[in-house]
A = this chain, B = another copy of it.
Amino acid sequence: MRPPLFEAVPNFSEGRDEEKIARIVAPVRAVPGVRVLGLHSDPDHNRSVLTFAGEEEAVLQAAGTLAQVCASEIDLASQTGEHPRMGSLDVLPFVPLEGATLEDAARLARQAGERIAALGFAVYLYEAAATASHRRNLAVVRRGGYEGLAARMGDPLWKPDYGPPQLDPSRGAVAVGARPFLVAFNAYLDTDDVEVARAVARRVRERDGGLPGVKALGLEVGGRAQVSMNLTDLDRTPIPVALEAVRSAASEHGASVESTELVGLAPLEAILQVARHYLELRELEREHVLEVRLWDAQ
């Protein structure tokens, strides 16, 4: 039995100064047992998104290290950018991977929140880690950015979960949360009519009575109507079920799916679900994949 794995996807408020970004990421990379999976910096938003993974203790330690280096490298008071940032370390979601549950990730978020508050950040827990329903939605928590939060944090409804009752101008506030792993799956239709994609999106998304855990939008991408989906509950709505629903809804408008794309990473289980579905396989588990056996034997 391998220990549970977690992913963290912190956003920090520096996306322009490459040397500074390197100084911020290096100590995270140096934490034993932490594997950095991605780093994306956006100069316009002056913001970077780092993805790393590992076992519980390694991920917690890396999160604390990142908060510390953000506090020393980034002065939020002198920082500018288009994004409505709240803190030098701005958002820190934990995501359950192999062997971990969303509740495990929420527990990690609370532990990380306490540690980070001790460094002078005001900490707001969100999504699965939220302590009140009005704080679950990240967009609501960070409404108005630093200034908006500074104005309302005297209200008992917006007291931080951990940390100082007023914002430190250099550090600010950070939203620490837990959310499920998302698979970003897009279907391109054989039409340029974005209204068809919008109608299909409404049919398949949970919000409008569609499939559990599916968020969907209709977009126009490269001259093609695209149904852009986030699948947040692969146990209840695996990729092939989402695809068949899109195919069926599209056909009502005389359209069909021309191609699809997976954006970012997909867990192996999501791919196995596709193979099981299409091949009508009696059984297919991760242990049947050669590379998994090589990997697990390490």
Contact = CB atoms under 8 A, between A and B. Distances in A.
A295 B293 contact: no
A266 to B, nearest CB: 6
A78 to B, nearest CB: 34
A255 interface: no
A22 interface: no
Interface in A200-242: 239-240
Number of copies: 2
Nearest to A183: B290
A5 interface: yes
B262 A284 contact: yes
A36 B288 contact: no
A288 B275 contact: no
A243 B279 CA distance: 8
Contacts of A295: 291, 295
A266 B243 contact: no
A149 interface: no
Contact of A291 (B257, B267, B280): B267
Contacts of A293: 35, 37, 265
Given A97-B290, A289-B265, A290-B265, A259 B278 contact: no
Contacts of A257: 280
Contacts of A37: 293-294, 297
For chain A, the bracket of interface size reads 35 or more
A283 interface: yes
A261 interface: yes
Q: Which of A5, A243, A274, A292 has the most CB of B within 10 A?
A: A274
A51 to B, nearest CB: 9
Contact of A261 (B261, B283, B290): B283
Contact of A298 (B35, B239, B277, B297): B35
A164 to B, nearest CB: 36
A74 interface: no
Nearest to A291: B268
A195 interface: no
B278 A278 contact: yes
A292 B291 contact: yes
5 closest Cβ pairs, A-B complex: A35-B297, A278-B278, A265-B290, A274-B275, A268-B291
